[in-house]
A and B are shown apart, each in its own frame.
Chain A
């Protein structure tokens, strides 16, 4: 079965505090795949990710130009256009950060948090969904007896799987991953990699990674960001 186009960027340009970080990036990415972006530190890989969920708007004095289209619910949508509110975009384009960032609340509440944002509050329904999601990221057996414990008490690897589960809770169509294993040991990284390979059946994963081995193991397409340009690697 041929894959559909999931993301298109046209003449993407991003400047931060007057300095160009990304220039004229034209990109076409297919769905149900893992796309890795590599490159030296400080070249704007994380900035590139934040362009796809407009998260840069929350914290920086960035200037964006160009067009980013993402196929959401079967239709290519201009994510900077007026028809898509930013909160709706971010529910469709989830994000996992470099350093795991569980919220300062229990494991259960962390996973249920996105449902609360959507207004879903039926306790039994939420409990079932939390268990399903924790099982999906292979975390349920490890935490089932301490769902009411502070999520920050989990190990780094467990925290990152928790964050992935939290991001998946609202069924995103694209998942952005900013070096998701950089703060983890090799065993925990392996578990995350296996999970990402499973996840691409359901969504498109755009991942920034420093690790060439990891990229070779799991990525379907690899790009390198250098000199403000994105180059497709063979």
Chain B
């Protein structure tokens, strides 16, 4: 009986995933049939001129997520090194607890705190303007994706078999040498998976970029420019329109995000699958 319930649950979740894709495809179909899909992908967003391009949002999403990854990666790797090997056990536990706690904080809290602490700092000390820009959003997103990456990195570093670690200890290897020469090369599949997962999380997050990136519809030329991401664009358009061409254009955004997420998941499966085969 319970097996049937589980099977039904698995079928339902698979069905829903496909249904979401089909729904976006059906609702965005007028874009394809009217030949506007590629114009939307590459064009500007000027609804008053009947231009519904999402190219600036594509650039915004790419910039925010790649910058967030660049900021977060060294910090996450360093934290993972401390948690996995370098720190004394009580400190490891304390840092691990803090990382888990960070993962549980609602996104809106990060955004809220950033508006009061980071935005004024950026405005007065670094970027000028309103302080709401790609750089501000990516700094907070870096913080947001760090716990996800740290969990993957730590798991990879700690999964190195005990007998290998003891072998290095017995040869007089210092903790940092053990980390660099044994654990890091062994943990690369999990590290890659963590990076992809972090990038996916940064790309998919809505609230931080909505609150902090400035939401300008012009394509950002630099990190200190205001910008709008695909996810923020969907949220903003859906709040203002429900039937027009503007509304239909957000299905192009949805499809792109869906395909990107699917690629991330497939890459993860490929990497983790390969590492399992190597064990």
A→B interface (CB under 8 Å) = 53, 55, 58-59, 86-91, 94-95, 97, 99, 101-105, 113-114, 116-117, 163, 166-167, 170
Docked CA distance A58–B170 (Å):
10
Known contacts A103-B182, A104-B186; A113/B171 CB under 8 A: yes
**A196 to B212 CA separation, bound complex (whole angstroms):** 68
Residue from B163, B172, B185, B186 within 8 A of A87 (CB atoms): B172
In the bound complex, residues from chain B placing their C-beta under 8 Å from that of A95 are 170
Extra 5 A-B pairs, beta carbons < 8 Å, given A86-B172, A87-B172, A116-B181: A58-B169, A59-B162, A91-B171, A117-B168, A167-B170
12 A-B interface contacts by CB (under 8 A): A58-B166, A58-B169, A95-B170, A97-B163, A103-B182, A113-B168, A117-B168, A117-B177, A117-B181, A167-B170, A167-B171, A170-B172
Q: Which residue of B lies closest to A54 (CB)?
A: B169
In the complex, whether B8 has a CB less than 8 A from a CB of chain A is: no
* A119: min CB distance to chain B, Å: 10
Flag if A101 contacts B171 (CB, 8 Å): no
In the complex, are the beta carbons of A90 and B164 less than 8 A apart?
no
When the two chains form their complex, are residues A114 and B171 in contact, meaning their CB atoms are under 8 A apart?
yes
Across the interface, do A104 and B172 meet the contact criterion of CB distance under 8 Å? no
How far, in Å, is A168 (CB) from chain B's closest CB?
11
CA distance A166 to B177 in the complex (A): 16
Cβ–Cβ < 8 Å partners of A170 in chain B = 171-172
Cβ contact within 8 Å between A103 and B170 = no
Given A113-B181, A116-B181, are A101 and B172 neighbors across the interface (CB < 8 Å)?
no
Contact in complex: A87, B174 (CB < 8 Å):
yes
Question: Are B171 and A90 in contact, CB atoms less than 8 angstroms apart?
Answer: yes
Main secondary structure of the interface of B (DSSP, over half): helix
Query: Would you call the interface of chain A mostly helix, strand, loop, or mixed?
Result: helix
Whether A103 and B172, one on each chain, are in contact in the complex, defined by CB atoms closer than 8 angstroms, is no
Q: Is A99 in contact with B163, judged by CB distance below 8 angstroms?
A: yes
- Whether a CB of chain A sits under 8 angstroms from the CB of B173 is yes
Distance in angstroms between the alpha carbons of A142 and B110 in the assembled complex = 61
Check: B236 CB closer than 8 A to any chain A CB.
Answer: no
Partner of A117, one of B171, B185, B186: B171
Whole-angstrom CA separation of A167 from B168 in the bound complex: 10
CA distance A104 to B164 in the complex (A): 8
B22 to chain A, nearest CB (A): 45
Name the A residues within 8 Å of B167 (CB-CB). 97, 101-103, 163
For residue A86, which residue of chain B has the nearest CB? B172
Query: Do A103 and B166 contact each other (CB < 8 Å), given the known contacts A113-B181, A116-B181?
Result: no
Residues of A within 8 A of B177 (CB): 117
> Please, how many angstroms separate the alpha-carbon atoms of A91 and B171 in the complex?
6
Among B169, B174, B182, B185, contact of A55 (Cβ-Cβ < 8 Å): B169
Expressed in whole angstroms, the Cα–Cα distance for A90 and B168 within the complex equals 10
A116–B174 alpha-carbon span in the complex (Å): 12
Name the A residues within 8 Å of B166 (CB-CB).
55, 58-59, 97, 101
Q: Closest 3 interchain pairs by CB?
A: A90-B172, A91-B172, A95-B170
Minimum Cβ distance to chain B for residue A196 (Å): 17
Contact (Cβ within 8 A) B169 A88: no
B162, B165, B170, B186: the one contacting A90 at CB < 8 Å is B170
